[in-house]
Amino acid sequence: MANRPNILVTGTPGTGKTSTCELIAKAAEMTHVNIGDLVKEKGLHDGWDEDLDCYVIDEDLVVDELEDIMQQGGNIVDYHGCSFFPERWFNRVVVLQTENSILFDRLVARGYSEKKRKNNIECEIFQVILEEARSSYREDIVVAMQSDSIEDITKNVSEISEWLRNF
């Protein structure tokens, strides 16, 4: 086990993973690993999925790319899925959740197509990512956090920072 912990922040697109991770990275000197950006920068995908309007990520390439830095610890990983990462990488898995109408407005503001909005809202309603996290990681390391407002972000960042201090 690495000396410093690794944290995964997951949740439906738009729930605030990137906003939360950026603040934690700054406050606690963690390395923010945004999987979506990494996939784009390093071409760790098998092309563009026209239907889902996103890259088809190559999960094996992503895992190979990150293995060394994950061994070192001190990373906060940001992605809207969690089942393909090795379970041993993470000491804490945070699942962000947002009330449907608030999430809907954020997805509209981002200019997502109706189909993409629908997919993401359904993902949130059915708690797909929370279920995925609970079935992929030990239940005691998985925590759900509400992310409806700026106050929620502040509270979540301070709870995660507190957890890091006590690690």
Tokens of 109: 């503001």
* Binding residues with ligand ATP: total (CB under 6 A): 17
Q: Is 58 in the site for ligand ATP (CB under 6 A)?
A: no
> In the range 76-105, which residues lie near ligand ATP by CB under 6 A?
80
Query: What stretches of the chain show up as alpha helix (H) in DSSP?
Result: 17-28, 35-42, 59-72, 100-109, 114-125, 128-136, 150-166
Cβ proximity to ligand ATP: between 18 and 83 the closer is 18
17 labeled part of a ligand binding site: yes
C-beta of 98: minimal distance to ligand ATP in Å? 7
Smallest gap from residue 10 Cβ to ligand ATP (A): 9
Q: In whole angstroms, how close is the CB of 155 to ligand ATP at the nearest point?
A: 10
- What the block records as the tokens of 51 is 């239907």
**Residue type, position 78, single letter:** D
Selected binder of ligand ATP within 4, 25, 73, 106 (CB under 6 A): 106
Which is it for the CA torsion 51, 57, 58, 59, positive or negative?
negative
Q: Which is nearer to ligand ATP, 53 or 60 (CB)?
A: 53
Mark out the alpha helices in 73-113 (DSSP H runs). Answer: 100-109
Task: Point out which span in 23-31, 122-130, 143-151, 157-165 binds ligand ATP (CB under 6 A).
Answer: 143-151
Q: Is 19 annotated as a binding residue?
A: yes
Residue 55 contacts residue 109 (beta carbons within 8 Å): no
φ/ψ of 76, rounded to 5, equals -120, 110
DSSP character at residue 80: S
What are the C-alpha distances in Å from 116 to residues 43, 48, 50, 62, 107? 23, 15, 11, 24, 9
Can residue 71 be called a binding residue for ligand ATP (CB under 6 A)?
Answer: no
Q: Binding site membership for ATP: which residues?
A: 14, 16-19, 110
Residue numbers at the binding site for ligand ATP (CB under 6 A): 11, 13-19, 36, 80, 106, 147-150, 152-153
